[in-house]
Structure 1
Amino acid sequence: MTSHLLGRALVEEATKKSGLIWVRGAGHTRALWHVWHEGAAYIVGDGPGEQPLPGLVDGGDAEVTVRSKDKGGRLVAWSARVSELAPHSEAWEAAVGELKGKRLNAPDAERMAERWARECRVLRLEPRDAVTDLPDGSLAAAPLPTAATTRRAAPAALPRLLLKRRGRRG
């Protein structure tokens, strides 16, 4: 009984403090932002501009791996029961109230809840009774294809500009 309570406490504290959780459902693994609320992790996605939730289905199972917020290493893994919340239900409203505060850079912050009700899914990942063994291997995956980029070729004039500045200071 004591180890069960310690396991639940570890899952709750680690998941609350971590900004991302790794969720595996039906062969797909994703890093997902979430919020811990009323004994479960809640996630929103599968809509335009939101995180994809492949392999996570209502009534299905998922494996969750929680990382340390400060060091990034794996802390705990737990199995979860997945349930999809009906838009505008009491549970959905409570979860969305918490999720809205964690959603960064939303293009439509004032209408976000309506958009989520129309176009997205809100899922509850409720821990099952047992803490599982941490997965083996790195869990690294190739990045998804995207049009976003952070690196471009340096402009041709940049080396000259940098050398000019150095010459003035010297």
Structure 2
Amino acid sequence: MAEIAGVMKKAGLVWLAWGGGRPLPAWFATVDGSYVVLADRSGSAEQPLPGLAAAGTADVVVPAKPATNRLAGWKATVRRLEPGSDEWTAAAQVLRTERLNAEGLDTQLERWKTEADLLVLEPTGVISESAGQWDDRSRLETPAGSPATTRGKRPITFHRRSKRRPKLS
């Protein structure tokens, strides 16, 4: 548990995988030694983590600051906090201060009660990856589908720069 706490202090976000799906990034907050994430429930503007509340368990991957490396990976049980409870209120207040680029701060907690789930990631004690202890499986995945396309022909440009550059001296 001390190793998990040490790497989580260095992280700003984690990658969560559950139910055999592809890992998704999630920002989190530490509340009384627990790790709390906010998961969108109704397609609102909060972070989309579909199905995490019902998953029961999740794999947590903590990335290093240069995002090409991993610090650690661990297993967590997922527990939903009941809206309006003391634990929910305490976690919501901490998440509120950690939430970047939030809009509607005056109604944020009321929106979270109806449109989002506050989930606690509790470490099971199983560390799947740590420094010097990596598995050999490939991390390559196909890109997620997107309606984005590559651009077509370059537009016509008037007043192009001359190919002959003037002498500087």
Give the TM-score normalised by the residue count of structure 1.
Answer: 0.76
- Displacement of 1:16: 2.5
Residue from 36, 41, 54 that aligns with 2:50: 54
- Displacement of 1:107: 2.3
User: CA–CA distance in 1 between the matches of 2:144 and 2:113?
Assistant: 28
1:105-126 per-residue CA deviation (whole Å, 9 max, x = no partner) reads 2221221111111111110000
Q: 1:113/1:152 Cα in 2 relative to 1: closer, same or farther (>3 Å)?
A: farther
Contact persistence 1:21–1:33 (CA under 8 A): yes
User: CA–CA distance in 2 between the matches of 1:93 and 1:146?
Assistant: 38
- Identity within the alignment, %: 34
Q: How many residues align?
A: 158
Partner of 1:44: 38
- Displacement of 1:78: 0.7
Q: 1:156/1:21 Cα in 2 relative to 1: closer, same or farther (>3 Å)?
A: same
Partner of 1:3: none
Say which one has the larger Rg.
Answer: 2
User: CA–CA distance in 2 between the matches of 1:39 and 1:10?
Assistant: 13
Partner of 1:77: 73
Give the TM-score normalised by the residue count of structure 2.
Answer: 0.76
Q: Which amino acid aligns with 1:21?
A: V
RMSD of aligned alpha carbons: 3.0
- Structure 2 portions without partners, runs of 5+: none
User: CA–CA distance in 1 between the matches of 2:91 and 2:97?
Assistant: 10
Partner of 1:35: 29
Partner of 1:12: 5
Q: Which amino acid aligns with 2:116?
A: C
Q: 1:130/1:118 Cα in 2 relative to 1: closer, same or farther (>3 Å)?
A: same
1:113-166 per-residue CA deviation (whole Å, 9 max, x = no partner) reads 11111111110000012212356322645246478x9x9788755874xx49xx
The structure with more helix, counted as a fraction of residues: 1
Contact persistence 1:45–1:53 (CA under 8 A): yes
Matched, 1:25 2:10: no
